[in-house]
Structure 1
Amino acid sequence: MKQKSTSPWAWVPTLYFAEGIPYVVVMTVSVIMYKRLGISNADIALYTSWLYLPWVIKFAWSPLVDILKTKRWWIVVMQLLIGAGLGGVALTIPVPDFFQYTLLFFWLLAFSSATHDIAADGFYMLDLDEHKQAYFIGIRSTFYRLAMITGQGLLIILAGFIESSTGLEPVEFSVTTQSTHTEWVVPQAKSVTTGGENQFVVTQADVVIGLNKLNKIQADSIKDWAHKQNLSNGFVIKEVQLEQAPGWWSSNVATPLKESLKERFGKEDKSAMFKGEVQGNIAAFGIRLAQMPEEGENVVLNLDRQSGAKDLSLVEGHRLTFNNQNWDQQAWVLVQADPKLDTAVSADFRGLSGNIPFAWSVTFFVLAILFVVFLIYHRFFLPRPAADKPVAESKNMLNEFVETFVSFFKKENFAIGLLFILVFRLGESQLVKLASPFLLDAREAGGLGLTTGDVGLIYGTIGIIFLTLGGIIGGYLASRNGLKYWIWWMTLAINLPNLTYVYLSYATPESMWIVACSVAVEQFGYGFGFTAYMLYLIYFSEGKSKTAHYAICSGLMALGMMIPGMISGWLQEIVGYQNFFIWVMICTIPGFLIIKFLKIDPTFGIKKQ
């Protein structure tokens, strides 16, 4: 009896949403959680950066997913482990040594999630024919991005909501800019009437910042004064920074090469006398408690922007700790305006002092329950393709493991395929690192001088819409005519729109619409062209061990983005933005040349009759 087929719409969206959630939790949510829980920036940066390692080296154990059990089995079991890891984080947040224990469970999450990625991508290739793989490539990317938005938005909102409903009344204040000149003065302490419930007392609820600028000496002295006051009173903890002497590479290779490039291609830095010298105005206000906390009790206040203009930034007082020693002292908070801001804007800030461990525990319990739901759903609704079976059941596992790697390097057209994977995005890998800095940098430095809020609107809204749209359209068209038909046009799409940055660097337009349209064109082209790249990885991975081979391809993909991206900022500082974007266009040439030598089945991606 023929098994009833399951529509890909029943499992592709949920599977790739489930794939994205643990990644964003480990890479982004963990950073915010640790910051809320009082871990230093140095420890957060060091330990959470290592959590990326399982995704980098996942190809090392990818053959096991092919050799042992089915892809369906791996998906269900990994979702069980991911749920257990999320539950483990939730349970260990309130304990005294929470940092060590939660990190242990984050490692479990990272390895389980990386393995889940291997199995999910392999299952996608096994159950869907070439036509459906091409059609759903944009759909799966869209739901993966939706998981990113959920992790960076809804989960943080949930934790913040729980924080706001516990602890003392939230601290709320608004900051407004005005065109008049304002001098910086130390706010006067506010008198406190004891009695009743404890609460925070602020020197002022409405803060005004003038649009007049400060020089670097003035701004630094204000920030230094406020930080020293908070440090001496125990509201913040001093962070240690290590200075390292230049290494052999810097002394003998990087610096000489930099000087040579600067001499031949660099331009005179006209911004040297301006860079960092002009800064936005700063407003300050104080916060204290109305009553002394109990012995040994810490009241932690986390401040952040709630809504309004992103051009007003909190530069001191993100996290303040009050106790029975400093409760009657003023903790100082500073808000600084973007130096490029020349219009009146406002922003609302809020400080929460709720039960932060409880809030994050609940958030991770919700995530754990979500993965139980995923587990149950996929246990029943994932199809059971006949091709989903272990590659080896009775053979020697070690031999099969080695053979999986060896067979990858024996693939037909291997050298050309490897070059394509590494160089197809050579230009884009460098552009993506410098696009936002170019938009933000002052015009004197060769940038466009946009504010943080402008860039957030352009990339966070317009860019995401056109990137997603390009991916969906690319997948639809590839499923109609095949990868071979569209690969040339998609190569044009991912590379040619980079010319918009060459134009922007020379024309430096004042109009926000021109800049936004240029970014929209580039992002749409990237989403459309990236479809060809992902489909070729699937095509190149076809064969006996397609799951492991796809994992190896994705690792090479990351390598092709990582290495050029590492040197892009160094290169741009030497040659300037105009020459850098011309260099980006030169780096697109290998991608055009290599596709001529690719051997692709003309029918790959097209629905078979």
Structure 2
Amino acid sequence: MNKNRRNSVLSSPYVWTFTTYFAEGFPYTVIRTLSSLFLRDMNVRLESIGLTSLFGLPWILKFLWGPQVDRFSTKRTWMLTCQFLLVGMMLLTAAFAPFSWGVSAIVLLFFAGSFIAATHDTAIDGFYMEALDSEGQAKFVGYRVMAYRIAMMTGTGVVATIGTTLGWPLAFACAALMMGLVFVYHFFFLIRVEQQGRPANELVKSALRLKNLALVTGAALLVLGLRAFLASRPYALIREQYPVLQKISFPHWVGLFLLLSLISLLVLRKRIWARIAGKPDTFYARAFITFTDREKIGTIFAVIILMRTGEFLLTAMVSPFFVDVGIKVHYGWLSSVVGLPLSIAGALVGGFCISTFSLKKVIWPFLLLQNLTNLVYMVLALHLAPFVAINTGAAVAQPVGALNLFWVAVVHGFDQFSGGLGTAVLMTFLMRICAKEFKAAHYAIGTGLMNVSGLFAGILSGFLAGWLGYGYFFGISFLLSVPGMIAVLFLPADIYVEPSKPAPKN
């Protein structure tokens, strides 16, 4: 009895939701953040460290192989396999760290590990949607956010501190130990809820076919070629002639390509369906086509792309605003002491409210609350405009005073809490638009589409803030968030329907 009770507790979603999303955030932090710190500590040139941005490519492109995670084996197996490989990567990194030649080997390990970690993320998101019903997905969305943030703090705090004080071999060994403990827990206690997909050995055979090798090689060369072109001298000259291009990064180009590809599929979907109907080897194509083959897909696209417009615009200019107002020395505690706890609290409250009152009842109020932050920042920026005028570019900033700093902390706290509510709504919405057969792929596609919103925010934010000033820019950013809130009102009813409940009749 006690053993069964212990196993029941260890297999509870309160436990595995935390551990899976800790396991998602921790490798990302090691590969994307700690890699730069480690390389600089090893006296690697800044120009070379800049190339570590390539480590982020798999997270941008993971929608390309997301369908394979749905098709073969189970998400649980994918997850465990990736975790085992990531533990091995961290152990090898610890073994190579003491040697001068080890730096180059570690860079290659991180690059390979980034593909494993991005695939791992896709498997975890898919498993979460398989293991929980819609109510559970909303209920635990706050735990996801909390676990991910704690994983990032563990990486940037604990592991980074060990590396810079006691040495990087020990730091990476500790990282491997933490990841290994999570792997062992998942291996023995993570629940089994999925139907078995096609055998994994078929994936290997499929990958080794000449046609598929050619397609993968061609896609890889295309991606690397685009990345190289964006970093080339000719493109730099083009950007000098057209300054707007300086705001468009590689992720934005990928997001735009994904949007145009999905629109093309939407236009041609009937013709494509006619060609692939009944063919057993068209799973990959169907994963993308089914994403577009639904009621009011234009509205769904609009919501995905526009939902975070206000947030992206605000986020792009908050840090420069803090610098120009003269409070950059306070940014650390504002983010860690005020912002982090309230963002987690917002996600937890948001998940609870969605599971209690339904997504339909809270989606619009939560988005409105999130976007009202922009108006609150507008009032703060107009109030602090004299300090912006004095401290912008000043060698020594004039203090803003304790009372003004208090109001900054209040506004930032409200921003982070309401942002947590918005994160809960966004994650739940993306999970609701995923078809049962393609959960991992559709979630990856949805997150990829959000890069389009970041594209427009990146282009507009600097120009608008420089032209209007921070105060009026924050006000305009609220107005630009309104189309997304309006689009939410026209979402199809089936997005709000629980799978176990009948759809409402019109």
Query: What SS does the corresponding residue of 2:91 show, helix, strand or coil?
Result: helix
1:365 matches 2:177? no
Listed as ranges, the matches of 1:221-240 within 5 Å are none
Gaps in structure 1 of 5+ consecutive residues: 163-358, 442-447
- In structure 1, the residue matched to 2:184 is 376
Partner Cα distance (2:496, 2:65) in 1: 32
1:20 matches 2:28? no
Partner Cα distance (2:317, 2:468) in 1: 13
The equivalent position to 2:165 in structure 1, one of 151, 155, 161, is 161
The equivalent position to 2:111 in structure 1, one of 103, 107, 110, is 107
CA shift, 1:401, in A, is 1.4
Q: CA 1:360–1:54 in 2, change beyond 3 Å: closer, same or farther?
A: same
- In structure 2, the residue matched to 1:34 is 39
- In structure 1, the residue matched to 2:206 is none
CA shift, 1:608, in A, is 7.4
CA shift, 1:578, in A, is 2.3
- In structure 2, the residue matched to 1:437 is 320
1:68 matches 2:72? yes
- In structure 2, the residue matched to 1:390 is 197
The equivalent position to 2:415 in structure 1, one of 508, 517, 522, is 522
The one-letter code of the counterpart of 1:30 is S
The equivalent position to 1:449 in structure 2, one of 306, 314, 326, is 326
CA shift, 1:562, in A, is 4.3
8 Å Cα contact 1:26-1:106 kept in structure 2:
yes
8 Å Cα contact 1:479-1:607 kept in structure 2:
no
Listed as ranges, the matches of 1:23-422 within 5 Å are 23-45=28-50, 47-162=51-166, 359-385=167-193, 387-390=194-197, 398-422=281-305
CA shift, 1:586, in A, is 1.4
Partner Cα distance (1:115, 1:463) in 2: 29
Query: What SS does the corresponding residue of 2:147 show, helix, strand or coil?
Result: helix
Q: Which has the larger radius of gyration?
A: 1
Query: What SS does the corresponding residue of 1:384 show, helix, strand or coil?
Result: coil
The one-letter code of the counterpart of 1:408 is F
Aligned residue-pair number: 401
CA shift, 1:573, in A, is 2.1
The one-letter code of the counterpart of 2:132 is L
- In structure 1, the residue matched to 2:354 is 478
Between 114-123 and 564-573, report the one with greater CA deviation. 564-573
The equivalent position to 1:589 in structure 2, one of 477, 482, 488, is 482
Partner Cα distance (1:376, 1:35) in 2: 33
Partner Cα distance (1:538, 1:596) in 2: 18
CA shift, 1:398, in A, is 4.2
Name the one with the larger helix percent: 2
CA shift, 1:556, in A, is 1.3
- Residue-by-residue CA offset, 1:528-576 (whole Å, 9 max, x unaligned): 1221111100001132211111111111123422442354224322332
1:577 matches 2:454? no
The one-letter code of the counterpart of 1:379 is F
8 Å Cα contact 1:391-1:544 kept in structure 2:
no
8 Å Cα contact 2:63-2:445 kept in structure 1:
yes
The one-letter code of the counterpart of 2:192 is R
- Residue-by-residue CA offset, 1:72-111 (whole Å, 9 max, x unaligned): 1000000011111112222222333333211110012111
8 Å Cα contact 1:484-1:601 kept in structure 2:
no
Query: What SS does the corresponding residue of 1:390 show, helix, strand or coil?
Result: coil
Partner Cα distance (1:515, 1:605) in 2: 40
- In structure 2, the residue matched to 1:187 is none
- In structure 1, the residue matched to 2:491 is 598
Runs of 4+ in 1 over 3 A off after TM superposition: 391-398, 600-609
Partner Cα distance (2:94, 2:323) in 1: 38
For normalisation by structure 1, the TM-score amounts to 0.63
Partner Cα distance (2:95, 2:280) in 1: 37
- In structure 1, the residue matched to 2:342 is 466
- In structure 2, the residue matched to 1:533 is 426
Partner Cα distance (2:455, 2:48) in 1: 23
The one-letter code of the counterpart of 1:151 is G
- In structure 1, the residue matched to 2:13 is 8
Q: CA 1:161–1:99 in 2, change beyond 3 Å: closer, same or farther?
A: closer
- Residue-by-residue CA offset, 1:424-472 (whole Å, 9 max, x unaligned): 011110110110211220xxxxxx222x332222222111121111111
8 Å Cα contact 2:433-2:495 kept in structure 1:
no
CA shift, 1:423, in A, is 0.5
Partner Cα distance (2:156, 2:498) in 1: 34
8 Å Cα contact 1:490-1:531 kept in structure 2:
no
CA shift, 1:601, in A, is 4.1
The one-letter code of the counterpart of 1:134 is A
Partner Cα distance (1:98, 1:547) in 2: 35
Partner Cα distance (2:479, 2:334) in 1: 26
Q: CA 1:607–1:527 in 2, change beyond 3 Å: closer, same or farther?
A: farther
- In structure 2, the residue matched to 1:203 is none
8 Å Cα contact 1:138-1:531 kept in structure 2:
yes
Name the one with the larger strand percent: 1
8 Å Cα contact 1:479-1:606 kept in structure 2:
no
8 Å Cα contact 1:21-1:151 kept in structure 2:
yes
1:503 matches 2:379? yes
- Residue-by-residue CA offset, 1:154-194 (whole Å, 9 max, x unaligned): 111112331xxxxxxxxxxxxxxxxxxxxxxxxxxxxxxxx
CA shift, 1:519, in A, is 1.3
The one-letter code of the counterpart of 1:390 is G
The one-letter code of the counterpart of 2:173 is F
8 Å Cα contact 1:416-1:594 kept in structure 2:
yes
8 Å Cα contact 1:483-1:605 kept in structure 2:
no
Partner Cα distance (1:607, 1:545) in 2: 19
The one-letter code of the counterpart of 1:389 is Q
8 Å Cα contact 1:494-1:530 kept in structure 2:
no
| CA-based RMSD | 2.3
8 Å Cα contact 1:126-1:388 kept in structure 2:
no
Between 9-18 and 370-379, report the one with greater CA deviation. 370-379
Partner Cα distance (2:428, 2:339) in 1: 23
Partner Cα distance (2:182, 2:477) in 1: 42
Partner Cα distance (2:114, 2:456) in 1: 23
The one-letter code of the counterpart of 1:419 is A
Give the % identical residues.
Answer: 33
The one-letter code of the counterpart of 1:400 is F
Q: CA 1:418–1:378 in 2, change beyond 3 Å: closer, same or farther?
A: same
- Residue-by-residue CA offset, 1:14-53 (whole Å, 9 max, x unaligned): 11101100101111100110010000111111x2111100
- In structure 2, the residue matched to 1:546 is 439
Partner Cα distance (1:31, 1:65) in 2: 30
